Structure 1
Amino acid sequence: MDYIVTLDSRQEAALQAIADRFIASHKWDAVKALKEMIVLNGHLQERLDAVESRRRARG
Structure 2
Amino acid sequence: MVGKIVIGTLKSRKFGCKFIFSTQYIKQLDAIADVLEASGSSYMLLKGSLEDDYRKVI
TM-score (norm 1): 0.26
Greater RCO between the two (CA within 8 Å, min separation 6)? 2
Structure with bigger helix share is 1
Q: TM-score, normalised by structure 2?
A: 0.26
Bigger Rg, structure 1 or 2: 1
